[in-house]
Structure 1
Amino acid sequence: MRLNLCVCVVGVCLRTSSECVCVCVCVFVCVCMYICVCVLMWAVFVRLLIFVCVCVCVCVCVCVCVCEAACAYVIVLMAVYWCTEVLPLSVTALLPTLLFPMMGIMTSKDVCMQYLKDTNMLFVGGLIVAVAVEHWNLHKRIALRVLLIVGVRPALLMLGFMGVTAFLSMWISNTATTAMMVPIALAVLEQLNGPPCVPAGGGPAEEPPAPPKEKAGHGLRALPMSLPVENGCGQLEMEELSGEEEEEERRRMCKGLLLCVCYSASIGGIATLTGTGPNLVFMGQLKQLFPQSGDVINFASWFAFAFPTMILMLTLAWFWLQFVFIGFNLRKTWGCGAADTEKSRAAYETIREEHGRLGPMRYGEMSVLVLFVLLVALWFTRDPRFIDGWATHAFNSQAEFVTDATAALFVAVLLFVLPSEPPHFLCFWRRADPGSKTVHTLAPPLLTWEVTQKKMPWNIVLLLGGGFALAKGSEESGLSRWLGDQMMPLHSIPPWAIVIVLCLLIATFTECASNVATATLFLPILASMSIGVNPLYIMVPCTLSASFAFMLPVATPPNAIVFSSGYLKVSDMAKTGIVMNIVGILCITLAINSWGRLLFDLDTFPAWANATTTV
């Protein structure tokens, strides 16, 4: 009855079907126009509001003439901009060059000098070497070779991927490492589980996955379940259930292998000073805030502390991911007592074919490998602390003339000088054709500036500079001293408890902001909290925590790369990542209170911590 009434009303209002169509189209167009106008107006409103807030706050700070408040305003403003990304991160990092001179905190000359310090050059030199490694596919050769060694048993395969990814992330970009390893992982999974599988609701969707269907380039396909049935319907139901369980097991394997790649990329970066941005931010701000600290943190001392921490955390992460996604069935995951299957042999052959496509190692690859090993050796032996290094004997007897940046730039320059092909006089064993008229041209160098310019992340250099400018501004304005006075009540709390709370805070904050921006914002404040405590005891754990972005796809580029493959849901990363954050903080707490205490002599308050204006 109600339906008939509705039909009558509609019939009265709209006499013809053409009128109905016209009205529907008009309504749809109006709604779309309204949405577009709202979106455009909102974008304009947000940008206008940002501009007005900047102008108003600058005027207020200039009129009040309180340097501490003005510097605090700049820090808060940059924190909001970095979190919301209303401006590009590197553009936000340039704000101190505009605001500090206008507010009378620092001169323009002094601010600009913070953007190209020794730490920035260390970063540039290390990245140039990393670009050469990527350019010659040396990282891919290493990765495939290790995977051929560990095999394709699920547990060992995951261990191999995690070990290779973590090792490569120590030296090259976490993002580049993940981008290289994910296609290899997908190719291996395709051979292990059959051609392409069904993504388990990838993207932001949180609903259960749709019934299995083939999708080009993604995932694993369910095996056909049309097996012979001898015992009626009961046997068929058992076979269908077994097929569903097998498909779920494959999806879990996909998720576990992809997550292990992005997690190990973030974990591996903490092991070296040049492995990830927060480490360099810490080194630069330590020298900025505590000028008398000298060479207390260099490549060798950081590696001695962070590498065991990385190994411990990587091992625990492997156990956790294996427990969640694979299980501890010795026969299935480790292959104990099991014969090689056709799929495992096919997966192994896939890795072998990829390795074979690289061909024999060329002269250029060998040269880059030698230079890479040379750089690592120079870093480790420059000042190993337990003995005098080569820099102390040759250059640094009077002052610290040579730093880790010097070694990095020395090797980086060699990459643009040495040829990518063996010189003619070294090819004496090759017999030239008597009738040939070969013209020997100059071989191109191992690395060209065009390649470097395309692959170099220059925005990180500006981010580092912005952090150093903020630290210097906090010192010059007196904000650091004021923060130190406000933190006096925390002196009664045990330092280890403060460290745990701060690590939790930073690990949470870095899920929403760039890890470099997080370290840049927090480290000057943390230095002010080091009242009667060695600053390294607080700053080192918090620096490592800035790299623990495991929960959200937007937290770090490796997470986004893995999430974009379509196999993961946000809930998968969140449930696994929250445990990873807790495990990481526990590992850091153990490290800083055990071998870190001995390595950095944390039981004593160093004299260099007093030689600063921050406390």
Structure 2
Amino acid sequence: QTMVRRWARSLLNVLSLLCVRTCSLLFPQEARCGYVIILMAVYWCAEVIPLAITSLLPVVLFPLFGILESKEVCMQYLKDTNMLFVGGLIVAVAVEHWNLHKRIALRVLLIVGVKPALLMLGFMGVTAFLSMWISNTATTAMMVPIVQAILEQMYSTEEDLAEPPVAQTNVAFELEEKNAANTVGVQGKGPATVHWYSFISNGHIPDDPTAYKERELKKRTCKGLILCVCYAASIGGTATLTGTGPNLVLKGQMNELFPRNGDTVNFASWFGFAFPNMILMLILAWLWLQFSFMGLNLKQTWGCGMERTDKERAAFDVLKLELQKLGSISFAEFNVLMIFVLLVLLWFTRDPGFIPGWATYLFNRKSEFVTDATVAIFVCSSPNRIVLLFVSTSAMKEPFLPAPLLEWKVVQRRLPWSIVLLLGGGFALARGSEVSGLSRWLGQQMSPLNSVPAWAIAVILSFVTAVFTECTSNVATATLFMPIFASLAQSIKVNPLYIMIPGTLSASFAFMLPVATPPNAIVFSYGHLRVADMAKTGFIMNILGVLCVTLAINTWGRPLFDLDTFPSWANITSGNRTIFSVLPPAIRSCWKMCKWKKLHFSRKRL
């Protein structure tokens, strides 16, 4: 029976290849390319196979369907944008490896204060800042145990003062143990958390309405402080070009679809647009979460001169103790911090836009030789005598040579390599759509939208993207929608960035479901939230996010990206060129000869 199954599978594979060849003869190229895109969209949404493996389907299907040659498809998987992503994440891994992000978080939280509303603001600010530079998942995984330890210490102290415990065991809350519990929770076994909202040690629930209100307030406060971390991680990742995958998808698709765009989207220009939007969204999210879970009590939030309560002192002691455990800043932490600052400065000053940058004067006079990816890889692969990010095995044996800041095996283990393949799959789809003529066909189908205002189109597509990203990866969402948005913008003669930027940012607005993004899943695994809590709060967050993006793109985004005009680099007739380029050589030569004879005959008549 096993042999029969194996032979049946082999026969099915052969028949599928024959079907593929038959389809390539019966249907036009646009339909074949559309089939590949729809197939990948279904696979990405249903997660039939890992997302990265789905991204490799164009390597197989495009050559079989006669859309692109194999060597041209494979070239799409390692482009300038991929190297920018790799370089930025290597520096982020170094920051995580030496716990520099934890030191920054604890220091800022001690400065902000431990009143619940201000503590929420501190958590959100720190999480958003760290998510700008390191992955959203790593930031959330680091911040949630800190939140958990503070909450447990705050409310266990309050309960101890309110009523002496009877046969109650005192629990020591160590962040290292919580990190281990968090790892177990992500793997699906659930974290071993201690619920601070246990009622009384004998299990009896009192009928006192005041006590009931206090317990409900504690539950809501816990939900709000836990939920603010994953929301701030998603919001913070939008502020920088390397902060999250969809931003890099936008840059890569711009370079692929509009190669003459003049590097319009770079690190500096994106930061100038997205950072103010991130600040606005963060403030609105803080106000909404405070209103939803804590109530807007200004006296309790900003009460200057008021004495700290016992639970606030307990939370402050937890933060102080954890910072003391880290000790004084080490040589490695200081060097990683300097490398990080150097990388950001080089990114900002390479091509600021309003003035020529250092790359323009030194390298880019004739062409775009040096890009943001060049800077990222330069900082990561600097010689060991200068920066010491990596050293060779032989060099490590030299006496008095300090240890490397980062070993390659650490990078191999922590770098999300699947995102590199996801980005490459998106570039392959964009190239296939262009060459097959699918992009031109989609643009023609969307031409009736000329009568709809551009801002309305941007808002509608932003909501569609925000809903779609709740069900699938944000990178996959951006990869699917960016070529379509570009074709739509060309058909209605609007700057493509006016449609593509809101769609890119909306792909990161995964606020409603635990499965929407890894930060949501990490937070949900701690057991304090229900799906309904996240869905109700996240629905308003999606609306606030789209409104903020609409405001940003129609105010400071217009002069920054020159959105009021339809740029010359977007006014390309790629359809005629690509359809002609995919014709067989014999037909192409006949076409050229007919055109030459027609021109010669018309001149002869004149």
Query: Which TM-score bucket, shorter chain as reference?
Result: 0.7 to 0.9
For residues 58 and 172 of structure 1, what CA distance do their matches in structure 2 show? 42
What one-letter code is carried by the residue in structure 2 that aligns with 1:134?
A: E
Where does residue 220 of structure 1 map in the other structure?
196
In 2 relative to 1, CA 295–50 (structure 1 residues): closer, same or farther, beyond 3 Å?
A: farther
- Give the length in aligned residue pairs: 527
Letter in 2 for 1:497: A
Paired position in structure 2 for 1:509: 468
Q: Distance in 2 between matches of 1:614 and 1:468?
A: 18
Report deviation, 1:242: 1.4
Residues 116/597 of structure 1: CA separation in 2 closer, same or farther (3 Å cut)? same
Deviations 1:28-61 (A, max 9, x none): xxxxxxxxxxxxxxxx9xx999979965862442
Asked whether the equivalents of residues 153 and 335 of structure 1 are also in contact (C-alpha less than 8 Å), the reply is no
Q: Distance in 2 between matches of 1:196 and 1:332?
A: 17
Separation of aligned partners in 2, 1:594 and 1:53: 56
Inter-partner Cα distance in structure 2 for 1:124 and 1:560: 24
> Does the CA contact (< 8 Å) of 2:235 and 2:509 recur in 1?
yes
Q: CA deviation at 1:330?
A: 2.8
- Counterparts of 2:383 and 2:510, CA distance in 1: 34
1:50 and 1:126 map into 2 onto residues whose CA distance is 44
1:584 aligned onto 2:560: no
Instruction: Tell me if the contact between 1:419 and 1:443 (Cα under 8 Å) persists in the aligned partners.
Output: no
TM-score by length of 1: 0.82
Q: 1:411 to 1:53 in 2, by over 3 A?
A: farther
Q: Which residue of 1 aligns with 2:444?
A: 485
| Matched residue, 1:334 | 302
Q: 1:609, CA displacement in angstroms? A: 0.4
- Give how far 1:240 is off: 2.0
Check 1:54–1:191 CA distance in 2 against 1; reply closer, same or farther (3 A cut): farther
- Tell me the amino acid that sits aligned with residue 138 of structure 1: L
Q: Does 1:559 align with 2:559?
A: no
Q: Deviations over 1:66-123 (max 9, x none)?
A: 1100000000000000000011000000000000000100000000000000000000
Q: Is the 8 A contact 1:326 1:333 kept in 2?
A: no
Residue 606 (1) aligns with residue 567 (2):
yes
Q: How does 1:105-120 map to 2 (within 5 A)?
A: 105-120=67-82
Question: In the aligned structure 2, how far is the partner of 1:405 from the partner of 1:321?
Answer: 37
- After TM superposition, the structure 1 = structure 2 runs for residues 400-439 of structure 1, keeping only pairs within 5 Å, are 400-414=368-382, 418=386
Look up the match of 1:268: 236
Aligned residue in 2 for 1:147: 109
Q: Note the C-alpha offset of 1:63.
A: 2.7
- Cα 1:74–1:57 shift into 2, 3 Å: farther
Shift, 1:244, TM fit: 1.4
Q: Extract unaligned runs of 5+ from structure 2.
A: 1-5, 160-190, 390-397, 577-606
Corresponding residue number in structure 2 for 1:495:
454
Give the residue type in structure 2 aligned to 1:487. M
Question: In structure 2, what is the Cα distance between the partners aligned to 1:410 and 1:196?
Answer: 52
Structure 2 CA distance for aligned equivalents of residues 396 and 419 of structure 1: 25
AA at the equivalent of 2:360: T
Instruction: Report the CA distance shift for 1:414/1:576 in structure 2 as closer, same or farther (over 3 A).
Output: same
Q: Is the contact between residue 271 and residue 310 of structure 1 (CA under 8 Å) also seen in structure 2?
A: yes
| Corresponding residue number in structure 2 for 1:11 | none
Q: CA deviation at 1:337?
A: 5.7
User: Counterpart of 2:567 in structure 1: which amino acid?
Assistant: P
Q: Bigger CA drift: 324-333 or 345-354?
A: 324-333
What's the RMSD between the two structures over aligned residues?
2.5
Cα 1:499–1:169 shift into 2, 3 Å:
same
* CA positional deviation for 1:557: 0.2
One-letter amino acid of the counterpart of residue 78, structure 1: M
1:571 aligns with 532
Structure 1 letter corresponding to 2:243? G
Determine which of 60, 64, 83 is the counterpart of 1:121: 83
Structure 1 segment 78-89 matched on structure 2, within 5 A: 78-89=40-51
Aligned counterparts of 1:529 and 1:363: Cα–Cα separation in 2? 52
Q: CA deviation at 1:346?
A: 1.1
Percent pairwise identity:
65
State the Cα deviation string for residues 163-192 of structure 1 (Å, max 9, x = none): 000000000000000000000000111122
Q: CA deviation at 1:218?
A: 2.9
1:501-524 deviation per Cα after TM superposition (whole angstroms, max 9, x unaligned)? 100111000000000000000100
1:534 equivalent among 473, 476, 495: 495
In structure 2, distance between residues paired with 1:53 and 1:72: 21
Counterpart-to-counterpart distance in 2, 1:168 and 1:350: 21
Residue 245 of structure 1 and its aligned partner are, at CA, apart by 1.1
TM-score under structure 2 normalisation? 0.83
